[in-house]
Amino acid sequence: MSFAAVTRQGARYARFAQLRCFSSTPKTSAAAEVKKLGVIGAGQMGLGIALVAAQKAQLPIKLVDTSQASIDKGLKFANKLLEKDVGKQRISQDDATAARERLSTSTNIDDLSDVDFVIEAVPEIPDLKTKIFSQIAQICPSHAILATNTSSISITRIAAATTTDPTDLSAPSRVISTHFMNPVPVQKGVEIITGLQTSQNTIDTAIELCKKMGKIPSKSADSPGFLANRILMPYINEAIICLETGVGNKEDIDSIMKNGTNVPMGPLQLADFIGIDTCLAIMKVLHEETGDSKYRPAVLLRKMVDAGWLGKKSGKGFYDY
């Protein structure tokens, strides 16, 4: 038999196996119904997630943050976004009022005791996230899905914090990452990242919730940086190295990427919008967990964080705001 014939036969076998695989897949989803959503963290990401869920999925939301000032600031921003949508006739005033009324707040994490799904959206500090998950595993109902918005920290590690017994998967199996892209009201993509312990029911429920929020989910393995940041952050880091070594100035670096690759903003401006400190935190995780020198954070990136130049949120980054 010729090489071409063997190749054709192999392709037929592959298609047959693929068809068998698809035909054995259940047609009905194992997704559980989400009637109430909890969000931890009233910062830009948490507020964005809560607002989109209130608008698109039309779910009652409990937004929790330890700081009342952060909650007040977040609600002020939410009202501004809703007013903007009404002004541009994207939604009616009645829709905006209804979305705002679905959003309630608290400074007490115990108020998440009746949610079906909770999304943690606090800073990328591993100890902080594991502490929160050890708490919500005890506070939330036994059926509740426990999701994190982490952009770089291992889901398996976070899930392990929900129990002291590694053989007990009742809580760890309900842990998953729903990594929303920033800004949440604008970006469609969500990374669905599973830990070693994550159940299929948890995956299905997370995917269905994201779809109801008008998002497009993509699945990623539990690997440092996952998909989005494994690709994006080295790109931003290399742009910073180009700046610090004089390969180009900030305007030319951003201009060539915008006008040469058709991205909406250049890497340095994007870093400002993400947050310079967030970029550094993710690069540190990539570098430490892979041990690969190609993920070493740029010297200038560290210096800017030391200076407090964190980007748009602080008023100064690579550009002034």
Do residues 122 and 41 make contact, with C-beta atoms less than 8 angstroms apart? yes
User: For the residues of 231-281, what is the DSSP string, one character each?
Assistant: HHHHHHHHHHHHHHTTSS-HHHHHHHHHHHH--SS-HHHHHHHH-HHHHHH
> Is 114 annotated as a binding-site member?
no
> Is 294 annotated as a binding-site member?
no
Considering the candidates 120, 152, 177, 179, report the single residue annotated as catalytic.
179
> Which residue is listed with tokens 């970029």?
279
Considering the candidates 149, 154, 229, 237, report the single residue annotated as catalytic.
229
> Is 43 annotated as a binding-site member?
yes
> Is 124 annotated as a binding-site member?
yes
Task: Mark whether 238 is an active-site residue.
Answer: no
CA 216/CA 48 separation, integer angstroms = 16
Which residues pair with residue 39 across a beta bridge? 63, 119
Considering the candidates 151, 177, 220, 237, report the single residue annotated as catalytic.
151
Q: Which residues, in sequence order, are CB contacts of 185 under 8 Å at separation 6+? A: 48, 51, 52, 81
CA 281/CA 233 separation, integer angstroms = 10
> Is 181 annotated as a binding-site member?
no
> Is 289 annotated as a binding-site member?
no
> Is 65 annotated as a binding-site member?
yes
Task: Mark whether 191 is an active-site residue.
Answer: yes
> Is 44 annotated as a binding-site member?
yes
Sequence letter at residue 207: I
> Is 33 annotated as a binding-site member?
no
Question: Which regions of the chain does DSSP assign to beta strands (E)?
Answer: 37-40, 61-64, 103-106, 117-120, 145-148, 175-180, 189-194, 216-220
Considering the candidates 70, 120, 173, 191, report the single residue annotated as catalytic.
191
CA 144/CA 156 separation, integer angstroms = 18
> Is 45 annotated as a binding-site member?
yes
Residues known to be catalytic: 151, 179, 191, 229
Give the annotated binding-site residues for NAD(+): 41-46, 65, 124, 129, 151, 182, 313
Give the annotated binding-site residues: 41-46, 65, 124, 129, 151, 182, 313
